[in-house]
Amino acid sequence: MSQHPTRILIVDDEPHVIYVTRYKLEKAGHQVFVANNGKQAYDIACAELPDAIISDYQMPGGDGFEMARRLKANARTAGIPIILLTARSHKLQPSALAETNVQHLMDKPFSPTDLLQKLDEMLQFAKKDQTGERAA
C-alpha cells in the first residue's frame, strides 16, 4: 500500500538548522520544502499546502509568529499545524498562540530526535482529527 510522503515546510534563517532538520526529515521519509523567512514561508505554504510547518520564531524578513497568524487567517491554510522554535528566553502567551495554529513550542537549541517525535505526534493528532476519530 503506497502512501504519499508527508510534506513539511521548514522555515529558518540559519542554514545549519535547515540542514540538520531537512536531513532528519528526509531520512524519515518526509518531503521537505524550505523557506528563509516568514514572508517566503507564507507564499510557499499557500502554494504547496504542506502537512505541517516547523518554523523559527525570530527571523529577519518576516517572523514565524506573524506567518502563523497569517496562515490561520487564510481558510486554505488555517488547519496546517505548526511547531514554533523559540529562543529559551522568549515565551508566548496562550492568548497570542490562540491566533495561530501553533501546536508546539520548542526551545532552541533542540534535539532533532525530539523534534521528529513532536512532529509525528502532531501529525497523528491531525490525522485523527481529520478522520473524525477525535471528539470535536
Query: Do you find a cis peptide bond into 94, omega within 30 degrees of 0?
Result: no
| pLDDT of amino acid 132 | 56
How far, in Å, CA of 19 to CA of 89, rounded? 24
On the question of pLDDT at 134 being above 60, the answer is no
80 or 2, which is more confident = 80
> What's the mean pLDDT in 13-42?
96
On the question of pLDDT at 2 being above 60, the answer is no
Residue-range domains of the chain with CATH = 7-131 (3.40.50.2300)
pTM for this one?
0.90
Q: What band does 42 get if pLDDT is binned at 50, 70 and 90?
A: very high
> What's the mean pLDDT in 22-30?
96
